[in-house]
């Protein structure tokens, strides 16, 4: 009789435990609060692409020949893409490596919390910070550089799927690269260097039509180049498509590449993610 009662109580308690989705939402709230409590990190994350936008847009402000836009306008969608990758790839790659080195992941793995809840929390953090970063850059772009917001439902939908696919692919890539640094101290160097190189060869800092084809082909292997290209298609007039390597926005290819990175990034995460640092075995 006692055994039966204990089993019933255990089953009832199990049913009352929050599921992974609810725990992930709660974990996401904690992640967002922790992010904004570190004021220096929050300010740097949001200010970095905005400051670079002001710098490059001020230095290169002439009209782009044959494109019907100014160089300043060309930098707005590029910086939005770079901002999205910064809040996902760079942020997760560094923070997860530090949490692993400080044994926070090891302690979390020993709790009843489902592993999926931890990653869902990171997803919520990336979504919130990525959305805020995008809004901030759009405000700067529309107020100071005469960038037009989309005026049709189709363009907003295009912005939506580029945002979701790009942010997801970059976030998964950030989780995967977090396993590369041997220590939390080396995480910044390991993550920032490839991100910085990609910005130069993906059309963020330098216009696409001035980058050598072999560099563009390397950049085309990663999400950032396609995010930049897709966002240029959303915010710039059709005449600006002549600056692209293929002379068009190539939305189909953008969706294909970003979707492939979502799948490939998930596979990389499953193959490489570790809850313990290399020193812990």
Condensed to tens digits (0 to 9), the pLDDT of residues 143-195 reads 988 888 888 899 999 999 999 999 999 999 999 999 998 888 889 889 999 99
Mean pLDDT by 10 residues, the chain (281 residues): 46 60 87 88 85 86 79 90 93 92 87 87 93 93 87 92 95 93 87 92 87 90 95 91 87 96 93 81 58
∠ CA 38-42-47 to the nearest 5 degrees? Answer: 150
- Per-residue pLDDT of 48-65, as tens digits, reads 889 988 888 888 877 777
Q: Are 79 and 137 in contact (CB under 8 A)?
A: yes
Bridge partners (DSSP) listed for residue 137? none
Convert 141-166 to b/e letters by CB count within 10 Å (16 or more is b). beeebebeeeeeeeeeebbeebbebb
User: Which residue reads 């760079």 in tokens?
Assistant: 90
The reported pLDDT for the residue numbered 3 is: 47
Here the tokens at position 100 are 């692993």
User: Which residue reads 């041997």 in tokens?
Assistant: 182
The reported pLDDT for the residue numbered 92 is: 93
């Amino acid at each position: 009789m006692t055994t039966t009662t204990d089993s019933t109580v255990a089953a009832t308690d199990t049913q009352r435990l929050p599921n992974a989705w609810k725990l992930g939402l709660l974990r996401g709230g904690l992640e967002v609060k922790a992010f904004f409590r570190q004021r220096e990190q929050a300010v740097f994350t949001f200010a970095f692409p905005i400051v670079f936008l002001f710098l490059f847009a001020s230095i290169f402000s002439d009209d782009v020949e044959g494109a019907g836009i100014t160089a300043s306008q060309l930098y707005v969608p590029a910086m939005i893409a770079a901002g999205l990758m910064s809040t996902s790839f760079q942020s997760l790659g560094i923070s997860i490596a530090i949490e692993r080195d400080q044994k926070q992941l090891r302690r979390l793995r020993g709790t009843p919390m489902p592993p999926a809840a931890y990653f869902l929390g990171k997803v919520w953090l990336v979504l919130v910070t990525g959305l805020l970063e995008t809004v901030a850059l759009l405000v700067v772009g529309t107020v100071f550089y005469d960038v037009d917001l989309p005026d049709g439902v189709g363009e907003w939908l295009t912005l939506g799927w580029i945002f979701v696919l790009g942010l997801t692919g970059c976030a998964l890539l950030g989780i995967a690269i977090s396993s590369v640094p041997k220590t939390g101290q080396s995480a910044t160097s390991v993550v920032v260097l490839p991100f910085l190189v990609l910005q130069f060869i993906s059309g963020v800092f330098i216009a696409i039509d001035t980058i050598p084809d072999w560099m563009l082909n390397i950049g085309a292997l990663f999400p950032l180049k396609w995010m930049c290209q897709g966002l240029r298609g959303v915010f710039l007039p059709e005449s600006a498509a002549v600056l692209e390597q293929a002379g068009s926005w190539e939305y189909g290819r953008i969706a294909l590449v970003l979707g492939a990175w979502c799948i490939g990034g998930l596979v990389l995460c499953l193959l490489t993610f570790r809850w313990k640092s290399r020193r812990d075995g």
